Amino acid sequence: MELRQLRYFVTLAEELHFGRAAAREHIVQSALSQQIQRLERELDVRLLDRSTHHVDLTPAGAAFLVEARQILDHVSRATQVARTAAASAPTLRVGIIDAGYDTMPQILRELQRNHPGITIHQVEAGTPEQYRQLADGRLDIAIGHGSQTPAEVTSKLIRLDPLGVLVPDDHRFADLDGVPVAALADELLLLGEESQTPELNQFVLALCRSAGLTPTLYEGTVESSRAAADLVLQHRCVHCVPSSFRSSNRPGTTWRPLADPATHYPWSLLWHDANSSPYIATVIDIARGLAERLDWLEPVALAAEPASGEGAPAATSRRSDDLL
């Protein structure tokens, strides 16, 4: 038995006319008649007396009508209760670049533990798309490099993430405590998907320029952290990524920090100035606690770099001088 069959029956019982009942339900008369017949066969009871000009309820139909109306009323109330609860439940729309980077996932896990009533909607999008969604209100908060944010987007530095390279376990870099940036000159270097991480790519290229080299880039692209780790395992390239890149723990691969100079990628929380969500402050508080507990902002002093106007690596994000 289907709810629509109950609804069709109640409508027909009120109209006692197939044509008018079909019009109310926005279906053709033959479809209405078929559904009523199916309902009667399932119940093994005749609900209606039909003639050429009249439709009447049988005694069984009149009794069934009372119960059918109560069922439909209960369903209607249940629907309204669910919608009201969904509308009143606190929600937070969060932008993440790639699930392979663990900074925002760590923050959200802590947020869910401390505030289980908040419903979190995660949206995976590249940095440019996150800016657009922050601007038009589709996102409440996001994560990225805060140096190139639009004027209406505020940023808060939360992590200085050591930059390094992901290599196969048998690579010549695997046994080094730190990989000199200049050593990347002899490697095919895989960057992130440009639509996803353009700021990270610019950061890496600026770092290479500051070390006096122009890297040879792997020509292919990848759309996920897992795909990037697969290329590394195949000895096709090395992948320049921050330490928070989850696939750094992929069996068969080793992540080694860059040295000469040691460099840290700045992650910032991003939100629109006009966003009034009270949960933005909650996320910032959670990030502050994690930063203190996990030393995310240590070391805060980076090696000397070219001017940030040249796109060089920078220690802090724009409008994030009041560090956590």
Q: What is the pLDDT of residues 44-94, one digit of tens each?
A: 999 998 876 788 999 999 999 999 999 999 999 998 887 776 666 688 999
Residue identified by tokens 């040295």 is 259
Q: Per CATH, is 91-310 categorized as 3.40.190.290?
A: yes
How many CA atoms, within 13 angstroms, populate the side-chain half-sphere of residue 199?
Answer: 23
Structure confidence at residue 169 as a pLDDT band (50, 70, 90): very high
Positions of E strands within the chain = 48-50, 55-57, 91-96, 119-124, 142-144, 153-168, 179-180, 188-190, 216-217, 238-242, 253-259, 264-272
- Of the listed ranges 25-29, 79-83, 136-140, 305-309, the one predicted with least confidence: 305-309
Could you give the angle at which helices 198-210 and 127-135 cross, rounded to 10 degrees?
130
Query: What are the sequence ranges of the domains in the chain?
Result: 3-87, 91-310
Residue closest to 36 by CA, chosen among 74, 58, 76: 58
Please give the Cα distance from 240 to 204 (Å, whole number). 8
pTM of the full predicted structure?
A: 0.65
Q: Say which residues have a Cβ less than 8 Å from residue 154's Cβ, sequence separation at least 6.
A: 270, 271, 272, 273, 319
As a CATH number, domain 3-87 is 1.10.10.10
Over residues 238-265, the mean pLDDT reads 88
Answer yes or no: are the C-beta atoms of 162 and 264 closer than 8 Å: yes
Question: Over 60: is that where the pLDDT of 301 sits?
Answer: no
